[in-house]
Amino acid sequence: MQAIRDRASDIHFEPQERQMTARVRIDGVVRELATIPKTMQQAIISRLKVMGQLDIAERQLPQDGRCTVRLAGDSIDLRIAVIPISHGEKVTIRILQRSSTRVSLSDLGMSEQAFEVFQRAIDQPFGCVIACGPTRARARRRRSTRRSST
């Protein structure tokens, strides 16, 4: 819940020799969230596997699952990936907030000229347009920083 409130895009549970570390990715930066005792490791991993409808007995092969949780009235999709490593199983949860995934072209922060070129490209009856860049939060932060420095 804390990771979702902090608008994290990922949560990583990484088993180590004597503990398990929980890290979150916020605006592209990975930060440590908590250190979890080794005695809790298997219970946490099993719970995450159950949530993702994965096989809790399978510990030798990678697995992928998904689930939806509700927090403060919002539906949040979680993609759960489990991969065996030397000290147990590493779990990565990708957080996909439905309310923040729809972005209009005008929200992308393009110049007017770039917007017109892009619009002409997507109006073509064939071809492919690939848009990539920073996460929405990082792009929003960069735009507000540019505005305040001018």
Q: Where are the domains of the chain?
A: 2-99, 103-149
Question: What pLDDT score does 137 carry?
Answer: 47
The percentage of the chain sitting over the pLDDT mark of 70, rounded to a whole number, equals 83
3-class SS of residue 65: strand
Tell me what the pLDDT averaged over the chain comes to: 85
Question: What pLDDT score does 131 carry?
Answer: 67
Integer angstrom CA distances of residue 111 from 107, 115, 122, 147: 11, 6, 16, 14
CA dist., res. 67 & res. 51, Å (int) = 6
Partners of 110 in the β-ladder = none
Integer angstrom CA distances of residue 121 from 4, 74, 104, 116: 35, 34, 16, 9
CATH classification code of 2-99: 3.30.450.90
Question: What pLDDT score does 97 carry?
Answer: 78
Question: What pLDDT score does 90 carry?
Answer: 97
Enumerate residues 6+ apart whose C-beta is below 8 A from 70. Answer: 76
Q: What is the pTM of this model?
A: 0.68
| 102-117: pLDDT as tens digits | 667 777 778 899 889 8
Question: What pLDDT score does 134 carry?
Answer: 58
Question: What pLDDT score does 61 carry?
Answer: 96
Regions of the chain where pLDDT drops below 50: 137-140
CA dist., res. 68 & res. 90, Å (int) = 20
From first CA to last CA, the distance across the chain in angstroms is 37
User: Is residue 122 within a helix (H) or strand (E), and if so which, with residue range?
Assistant: helix 112-122
Question: What pLDDT score does 71 carry?
Answer: 83
Question: What pLDDT score does 65 carry?
Answer: 96
CA dist., res. 51 & res. 68, Å (int) = 9
